[in-house]
Amino acid sequence: MPKVRFEPSGVEVETAEGTTILDAALEADVELDHNCGGNCACSTCHVIVDSGIESVNPITEDEQDMLDEAIGLTENSRLACQCQLTKNVTVTIPDTSAQFADFDDFD
């Protein structure tokens, strides 16, 4: 069974092959935004696959289109809702909360 390690928390979970990174995060109570409910309709579950990128399914055109909206893209960026595990991976959940404006300051 594949394992996924979430950084920066260091939480690791073992899960069934074919499970998405998002589902593995939810199983392990790892906080990972997923505003669209895991339907590849937003980019809030953006993760960076630090190791094991060859152990996940290939990226689809729909996922690539959604990733274009993500903040802090890298070559190994994926949407956790679309990225299925076959072997062990380590992923970083980017901290994007500081990138959004505080709209309470506006009148």
100 inside domain = no
* Alpha-carbon span 67 to 40, nearest angstrom: 9
Structural domain range at position 45: 3-94
Q: Is residue 102 part of a domain?
A: no
Residue at 107 is within a domain:
no
Distance of alpha carbon 18 from alpha carbon 107, whole angstroms: 48
Rounded to whole angstroms, how far apart are CA atoms 36 and 81?
10
Asked whether residue 103 is assigned to any structural domain, the reply reads: no
* CATH label of the domain that carries residue 76: 3.10.20.30
* pLDDT (tens digit per residue) in 67-107: 998 989 999 999 999 999 999 999 999 986 333 333 344 34
Domain count, the chain: 1
Q: What is the pLDDT of residues 36-72, one digit of tens each?
A: 999 999 999 999 999 999 999 999 999 999 999 898 9
pLDDT confidence of residue 101: 33
Length of the chain, in residues: 107
pTM: 0.86
CA 99 vs CA 55, 66, 70, 93, 102: distances in Å: 30, 18, 11, 14, 9
pLDDT reported for residue 95: 84
Rounded Cα–Cα distance for residues 10 and 3 (Å): 12
